[in-house]
Structure 1
Amino acid sequence: MPRRLAPLFLAALVSVSAGAMTVASSPVAHAQQMQRIAAVVNDEIISVRDLRDRIEMVIITSQLPRNSETAQRLAPQVLRNLIDEQLQMQEADRLSVSISESEMDRARSDLEARNGLRPGQFNDFITQLGVDPGTVERQLRANLLWSKLVQRRFASQVEISAEEVDETRARLAADVGKEQKRVSEILLTIEDPTKENEVVQLANRLVEQIRGGASFGSVARQFSQAANANVGGDIGWVLSDQLAPELAEVVETLSVGDVSDPISTIVGYHILQVSDTRVLAKPDPGQAEIRLSQVFLPVRPSDDAEQRRTQTEAVRAVTAQATSCDQLATLAKEAGSPVAPDLGTSRVAELPANLRTQVADLQVGETSAPIDLPNGVMAVMVCERTAPESNLPDPAQIRRQLENQRFEVLAQRYLRDLRQAAFIETRV
């Protein structure tokens, strides 16, 4: 059975002075302290320098107060994260999973885009923040390795059937008209029941810091143990009844921008934030965009009813022959239509009422019945039609959501098994 020693964190582990973290008063003592072992993970070590650098990165990127109290409070969770990363990288190495430089470049580009940077500014940006680029690179590589490993390890177990997708979409369609909320989460799991109080204390501190202005997304990336941590804890758009009952009850009370107190579930402690709300709705037909072509034949106010019937039949004859908008334009000209055939592109809702009712259900290539106007008779053909957007997810989006949920559960179990099988010894 692997031996696991409970971590004892020295009060003097980290202090902050003049914006830089130090642990000793002299250069020699400082160097010696940095070489100390913070933890042993199987046959590899995590140094005090590794721990110090990661604490500083977490404080800066999460916009937490830069002081010794913050550093000391964060140290247990940060060390745990480093230990988990070490286990993940060891497992990736055992199974010959690696990350190419091109994959790292894409990850750097994603970080640049997320922070509004131009391509190639990654290292300069990190350095200007006062963070060691090597520390960020290590975390980035570990996240990529773990994601790739989980995908490869469990791909055959994560197969979403068409029936599951259809059932999920049907449930969403049945919920049309209900309020959805955009929810993000931070999950702190409890592996050792004797350490639950430490987890609760950390959760409360994180809530306090986020409410004080720290970035929820940045804190989630550094502390959350959910699979969505790398996207700032974003769960996406959800209805309350899609969440665990304990979470649903809280989400219903949160307004946009609110952050919950820590919520205890069987998984651990959750911190939730609502960033937006909307009503789940079907597409509005009036928001469809259509391009129309017309045939118009005039009728003078002095013309009798017979003349109007004649023009109506002439319009009907044109639309009966036309199979495309180009052909409609040619036939309209031959019939003596005095106006340009192209009516341009409009939203259905923006059209005059008498025209809107005629074209609302027409598809591309279909023509309306003749429409009486005060000065003539017209008919239109739909040349192009763009469907209105819906906030109901499409089947591909639903499939990805279901896959991500399943991968998250498997990843949590995988990491738990790695922890239980490992030799982990903490020395600070």
Structure 2
Amino acid sequence: MMLVLACSASTMVATQTEAAAQAREAPPAQNSLNIPDDVTLFGKSDPNIRKATAIINGEIVTGTDIDQRLALIITANGGKIADEEKERLRLQVLRNLIDETLQIQEAKAHDIVVDRAEVEQSYARVAQNFGQSPDHFTEYLRQHNSSPASIKRQIEGELAWGRLLRRNVQPFVNVGEEEVQSIIERMKASKGEDEYRIGEIYLSATPENTQQILGNARNIIEQIKQGASFQAYARQFSEASTAAVGGDLGWVRLAQIPNELAVAAREMQVGQIAGPVPVPGGFSILLVMDKRKILTADPRDALLSLKQLSIAFPEGTTQAQASSRAGAFADATKKIQGCGTANDIAAQVGADVVDNDQVKIRDLPLPLQDMLVNLQVGEASPPFGSVKDGVRVLVLCGRDDPQDAGTPSFDQIMTQLEDERVNKRARIYLRDLRRDAVIDYN
């Protein structure tokens, strides 16, 4: 997670600025290395002919491993990935598999071995998320050129790394009681201010590969804008620990995140994606998943009782014909005076009626949310729909408004702070593992 205290972010930025100034005053790198200006290269390195396999501290990652993991990403995005994008993704998948291998190896070096039963349980939950049994999900993966082994290896890596962090990192992360209490007081003072639920894909970068990582980030953004899954990309490519939960940072105030991210999020609407945002150590891609007021009841959490009236258009209906019937439907629904009259009017225009209870406003499409928040009991919404999907009207029959949200507990805030600091140390831990690893590319 790229969450750090705002003051820490400012310090890091200031440090980088100072370092940049020193770099401008330093002699060129080739002079300090005593490299002549007229160099002759003996042999060449062509990345286009390098096979995408590697041996990491003696453990092999094969081309098949990469193909199967890549197939997961393609499947999660409905297969809508261009060939040139697939090649870029292959290189990223290889880097992810290398990190995953290093994490599993480090865990085993500390006598942490994930039981196969745990992996199978997590695999069953993943299958359930797809609405399938484990056996059907296994067949589904094979039909899409992947395999259960690929997902299970990823699950093993996440479980092993998480357990290692809890043993070797978390015990040495300290959060003071006064610090937590101070945050609680600030939250109370901030009641009514905006709070954001943010998704993040964090990609680390060095001065040497900045342009490459920047290009990768832009490609990811373009794929997501074209309909790809943000959560799928976060799970596969984000280098933050929140990758395991699709990049979800949870609910945060802008003061809790680095200024670079806060500036971007402040101008974003729910559902909007932004980036790549330069942050200390790399780039972030942001998604505003939701927004609410701190410690204030969100009207979108209201539970509604709705009556839906809908008309469908036969195949072959022209736009003009659909518009004419939709206009008549709209005129008829304007006469609705409470849910008691809705059924009679539906019968007059040949509309289908469906009753829906306990519908949370925030679970509906964004355009409908804004409309229903202001709808009064007994009122009907304007018609909405299309020739393909038909036209619908919603009648509000009842509303249960939410209560004001309470202040997060002391333990919840302490856990969040601990997680932020563990995540920061985890990135450093993995960086050191990469530096010490013996990796042979074939």
Q: TM-score, normalised by structure 2?
A: 0.62
Is the contact made by 1:186 and 1:225 (CA closer than 8 Å) also made in structure 2?
Answer: yes
Letter of the structure 2 residue corresponding to residue 228 of structure 1: T
Is the contact made by 2:100 and 2:157 (CA closer than 8 Å) also made in structure 1?
Answer: yes
1:92 aligns with 2:107: yes
Letter of the structure 2 residue corresponding to residue 242 of structure 1: Q
Is the contact made by 1:7 and 1:76 (CA closer than 8 Å) also made in structure 2?
Answer: no
1:127 aligns with 2:142: yes
* Alpha-carbon distance in 2 for matches of 1:402, 1:171: 15
* Alpha-carbon distance in 2 for matches of 1:97, 1:225: 22
- Relative distance call for 1:400 and 1:69 in structure 2 (3 A) is same
Residue 46 of structure 1, aligned match among 46, 61, 72: 61
How far did residue 394 of structure 1 move?
A: 2.0
* Alpha-carbon distance in 2 for matches of 1:226, 1:83: 15
How far did residue 249 of structure 1 move?
A: 0.5
Q: Which residue of 2 aligns with 1:137?
A: 152
Computed over aligned residues only, the root mean square deviation of the Cα atoms, in angstroms, reads 2.6
* Alpha-carbon distance in 1 for matches of 2:229, 2:275: 16
* Alpha-carbon distance in 1 for matches of 2:151, 2:193: 41
1:219 aligns with 2:257: no
Residue 406 of structure 1, aligned match among 410, 421, 424: 421
Alignment of 1:1-400 (within 5 A): 9-10=47-48, 38-63=53-78, 65-117=80-132, 121-190=136-205, 192-282=206-296, 388=403, 390=405, 392-400=407-415
Q: Aligned to 2:171, what secondary structure does the other structure show?
A: helix
Is the contact made by 2:170 and 2:418 (CA closer than 8 Å) also made in structure 1?
Answer: no
Q: Aligned to 1:260, what secondary structure does the other structure show?
A: strand
- Relative distance call for 1:51 and 1:112 in structure 2 (3 A) is closer
Provide the aligned length of Structure 1 versus Structure 2: 297
User: Which ranges of structure 2 fall in alignment gaps of 5 or more residues?
Assistant: 1-43, 302-401
Residue range with higher mean Cα deviation, 393-402 or 159-168: 159-168
- Relative distance call for 1:188 and 1:214 in structure 2 (3 A) is same
How far did residue 115 of structure 1 move?
A: 3.1
* Alpha-carbon distance in 2 for matches of 1:43, 1:145: 19
* Alpha-carbon distance in 1 for matches of 2:417, 2:156: 25
User: Which ranges of structure 1 fall in alignment gaps of 5 or more residues?
Assistant: 1-5, 14-35, 288-386
Is the contact made by 2:123 and 2:151 (CA closer than 8 Å) also made in structure 1?
Answer: no
Provide Cα deviations, 1:164-197, integer angstroms capped at 9, x if missing partner.
322222221111010111110000001x422211
Residue range with higher mean Cα deviation, 224-233 or 103-112: 103-112
Q: Aligned to 1:58, what secondary structure does the other structure show?
A: helix
How far did residue 265 of structure 1 move?
A: 1.1
Q: Aligned to 1:237, what secondary structure does the other structure show?
A: strand
How far did residue 280 of structure 1 move?
A: 0.9
Q: Aligned to 1:83, what secondary structure does the other structure show?
A: helix
- Relative distance call for 1:243 and 1:63 in structure 2 (3 A) is farther
* Alpha-carbon distance in 2 for matches of 1:129, 1:243: 39
Letter of the structure 2 residue corresponding to residue 279 of structure 1: K
Q: Aligned to 1:425, what secondary structure does the other structure show?
A: strand
Letter of the structure 2 residue corresponding to residue 174 of structure 1: A
Provide Cα deviations, 1:244-283, integer angstroms capped at 9, x if missing partner.
1111110011101100020111121100000111111257
Provide Cα deviations, 1:308-350, integer angstroms capped at 9, x if missing partner.
xxxxxxxxxxxxxxxxxxxxxxxxxxxxxxxxxxxxxxxxxxx
Q: Aligned to 2:55, what secondary structure does the other structure show?
A: strand
* Alpha-carbon distance in 1 for matches of 2:287, 2:204: 18
* Alpha-carbon distance in 1 for matches of 2:105, 2:128: 30
* Alpha-carbon distance in 2 for matches of 1:160, 1:39: 40
Q: Which residue of 1 aligns with 2:387?
A: none
How far did residue 8 of structure 1 move?
A: 5.3
* Alpha-carbon distance in 2 for matches of 1:389, 1:163: 26
How far did residue 43 of structure 1 move?
A: 1.9
* Alpha-carbon distance in 2 for matches of 1:282, 1:138: 42
Is the contact made by 2:68 and 2:145 (CA closer than 8 Å) also made in structure 1?
Answer: no
Larger radius of gyration: 1
